[in-house]
Amino acid sequence: MTASRSVRRVTFKEAALRLGQRFRLHDVAPADVRELAERGLLPIAVRWGVDLVPDLPPDIIDELRRVGDERRAWRTASLDRWAAAEQLGVTWEEVPDLAAEHDVQPGRFGRYARSDIDRLQLELLVAGVTRLERAG
């Protein structure tokens, strides 16, 4: 009879905190851990949590760093629905339909690229001016 080893499952949030502390990485987010787990780079036991392993190879730590850097860069280069709505002068509920009408798709975390929102704002401005010119 073999002894079964009990493994405690933790949430992605707890895993992010532990990995950040263990490997001295600042700002490890649950989304970073989830991405690596979904790509098979971290062991995943269930959809909602991960099993932590005592040691990770350096290339996995480097990948965790890279994923975090990409997440931070995307947050800087993008707007959430509420910020996009404010820039466009519409309600946050209107953003998805308005964006889709102009072939603007949300990216990671449901955020919109700033450049896409800038382009959409210009398109709406030009369309509004053209309408006013025709009416006047």
Cα gap 133→49, rounded to integer Å: 57
Residue 51 has pLDDT above 70, yes or no: no
Q: Where are the beta strands (DSSP E) in 1-136?
A: 10-11, 44-46, 49-50, 78-79, 112-113
Mean pLDDT of 37-43: 83
Confidence (pLDDT) at 48? 42
Boundaries of every domain in the chain? 10-77, 80-135
Dump the DSSP string for 9-29.
Answer: -EEHHHHHHHHHHHTT-S---
pLDDT tens for 2-33 read 444 555 567 888 888 888 888 888 899 999 99
Question: Do 43 and 37 touch, CB atoms closer than 8 A?
Answer: yes
Confidence (pLDDT) at 46? 39
Percent of the chain with pLDDT over 90: 53
Closest CA to 71 of 41, 18, 27, 114: 27
Mean pLDDT of 44-49: 44
Confidence (pLDDT) at 127? 87
